[in-house]
Amino acid sequence: QKEVEQNSGPLSVPEGAIASLNCTYSDRGSQSFFWYRQYSGKSPELIMFIYSNGDKEDGRFTAQLNKASQYVSLLIRDSQPSDSATYLCAVIRYGNKLVFGAGTILRVKS
């Protein structure tokens, strides 16, 4: 079982729709959770981080964490073509080891 799992996609949504990206992790001791966006050929950039159960909102983005289910998600409202990228879920494990999922490709069609 991979430490951090994501559906590789591609996930295709029309412009203006809500995109829902999901991530599960295997280590119950994981403490911090991050969503990064990566455009082709570029380095990842942070979108959001979340530490506590529940929702955290920042503009068009909402991160949701459920530690009991070992599940973290990212919702993107009013999706724009510029949101088309690969979204990486990352988890900090014990010992400050930061592990990434393989990423989900998002395509927003205008």
Partner 1 sequence: DGGITQSPKYLFRKEGQNVTLSCEQNLNHDAMYWYRQDPGQGLRLIYYSQIVNDFQKGDIAEGYSVSREKKESFPLTVTSAQKNPTAFYLCASRDGNTGELFFGEGSRLTVL
Interface with partner 1 (CB under 8 A): 6, 32, 34, 36, 42-46, 49, 88, 90, 92, 95-103
CB of 101 to partner 1, least distance (A): 6
Task: Specify the residue, 95 or 110, whose C-beta has the smaller distance to partner 1.
Answer: 95
Contact 18, 77 (CB under 8 A): yes
Residue 50 burial (CB count, 10 A): 19
CB of 41 to partner 1, least distance (A): 8
Write the CB contacts of 22 (distance below 8 Å, at least 6 apart in sequence). 6, 7, 71, 72, 73, 104
CB of 16 to partner 1, least distance (A): 28
User: Which helix or strand (DSSP H or E) is residue 95 part of?
Assistant: none
Task: Specify the residue, 18 or 39, whose C-beta has the smaller distance to partner 1.
Answer: 39
